[in-house]
Each structure stands twice: as C-alpha cells, then as structure tokens.
C-alpha cells in the first residue's frame, strides 16, 4: 500500500488508479466454513498419512476411483500458510465411514481404505493426498471433509464437493448455499491423472483462510 501511495504521489490522476487496482484485485475471498459432521474419527487410525489407498502392513488397496488431490492454503492476500496441518476424512467407495456411529446397513467400511489422512503444507502452502473420488450416500452429495490446523492451534473446517454432480442440489449442506461464489469455492473439477494411477483422477482444492 505504501508503494501505491508513493506512486500515486509521483504520477497522480488516472494512471495512479490503474497502478493501485491490481493490489485490490489480489485480495481473495475466504473459503466458506462448513460443519464438521458426525464422522470425524473418535480415535485416529495408526496409519494416518496422506495416502489413503495404502494402509501400512496391508497388501490390498482401497476400493474406488483413485484421486490425486492437491491444493494450496493461503491467507486473504494469497500468501502461503506454511506448516499447517491438513486433515481429510471421507466415506469409502460404498459410502461407509470408519466410525462406530456409522451403522447404516450393518456393513463394515473397507478395511483397505484409510478413511482419514493428515499432512502438512510446505513452504509454498501446498498439500497433497492420494485418496478416492468421493461417492454419494443417503442425504449427502459426494464430499470430502477438510480440517486445517494452524500453528497457533486455530482450526478451520469445511467440505469439498464435485462440481456439477447431480446430487449437489439435494445435499443438506451444499444445496442450501445460495451464494454462487461459495458454491464455486467448495467445488472442484476432476481431470485425468492416468499418468499417476490407472484410471486415476486429479483435483485441486485451494483453501483461503479469512
Ligand atoms: Fe461426510
């Protein structure tokens, strides 16, 4: 800002406005918060790394469409939030959570799917996970829960959705979002990640902390 004021003093008039505008445009909108929901783990799994398809000591791989999920955690000015904890949790390919409260149908969750993972942002605020493309379950559109834990202990919780999924409008949370920008910020596009995993998909989910 000091820089813009200096330039305005030197240049004056319309040119000064065009110099100042990009500074204002760089300010981002905070990612909307969403409820934690009932299925945050009661106890964290022994293997809670950022590859949810491979559990330490098991041969099998979690069922479902592999998803290479990455993104950037930043502040409102686009500055990276480094060394923040990023956690995700989601249901398995059959819509089951690894959680004692999820008793729908009495079917156990996929023993080869981690269901929860944790990582840390690097110096550029980047994180990545290998998981599955989320699937719908009764009452909910496909979603992945996110929790970001800052170094000062503050945390931020939200949910990520698939852009254009037919069940989004009926979702109890996403369907109630009237603000199209909020919907936009919480939804991702899927592209191919066949270079990383057979039949794999890729998605980018950036999180802006207010
Ligand atoms: Fe959920």
Q: How remote is the CA of residue 95 from the centroid of ligand 1, in Å? A: 9
- The confidence band for 100, taking pLDDT boundaries of 50, 70 and 90, is confident
According to CATH, the topology of domain 31-209 is: Protocatechuate 3,4-Dioxygenase, subunit A (2.60.130)
Average pLDDT over residues 150-159: 96
Q: How remote is the CA of residue 110 from the centroid of ligand 1, in Å? A: 16
* pTM to 2 decimal places: 0.86
Q: How remote is the CA of residue 19 from the centroid of ligand 1, in Å? A: 45
Position 106 scores a pLDDT of 72
Among 156, 175, 157, 155, CA closest to 165: 175
Domain-wise residue ranges, the chain: 1-27, 31-209
User: Residue 7 and residue 26: Cα distance in Å, rounded?
Assistant: 18
Q: How remote is the CA of residue 82 from the centroid of ligand 1, in Å? A: 27
- The confidence band for 110, taking pLDDT boundaries of 50, 70 and 90, is very high
Q: How many residues does the chain have?
A: 210
Report whether pLDDT(14) > 70: no
Q: How remote is the CA of residue 138 from the centroid of ligand 1, in Å? A: 10
**Mean of all residue pLDDT scores within the chain:** 89
Q: How remote is the CA of residue 90 from the centroid of ligand 1, in Å? A: 6
Average pLDDT over residues 54-74: 97
């Amino acid at each position: 800002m000091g820089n813009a004021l200096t330039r305005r003093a030197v240049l004056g008039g319309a040119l000064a406005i065009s110099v100042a505008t990009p500074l204002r445009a760089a300010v981002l909108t905070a990612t909307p918060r969403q409820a934690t929901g009932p299925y945050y783990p009661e106890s964290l799994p022994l293997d809670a790394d950022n590859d949810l398809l491979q559990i330490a000591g098991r041969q099998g791989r979690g069922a479902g469409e592999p998803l290479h999920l990455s993104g950037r955690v930043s502040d409102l000015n686009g500055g990276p939030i480094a060394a923040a904890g990023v956690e995700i949790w989601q249901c398995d390919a059959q819509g089951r959570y690894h959680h004692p409260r999820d008793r729908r149908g009495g079917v156990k969750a996929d023993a080869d799917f981690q269901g929860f993972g944790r990582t840390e942002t690097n110096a550029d605020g980047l994180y990545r996970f290998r998981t599955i493309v989320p699937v719908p379950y009764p009452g909910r559109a496909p979603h992945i829960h996110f929790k970001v834990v800052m170094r000062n202990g503050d945390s931020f919780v939200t949910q990520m959705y698939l852009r254009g999924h037919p069940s989004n409008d009926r979702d109890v949370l996403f369907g109630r979002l009237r603000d199209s920008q909020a919907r936009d910020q919480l939804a991702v596009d899927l592209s191919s990640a066949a270079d990383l995993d057979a039949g794999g998909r890729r998605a980018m989910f950036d999180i802006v902390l207010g």
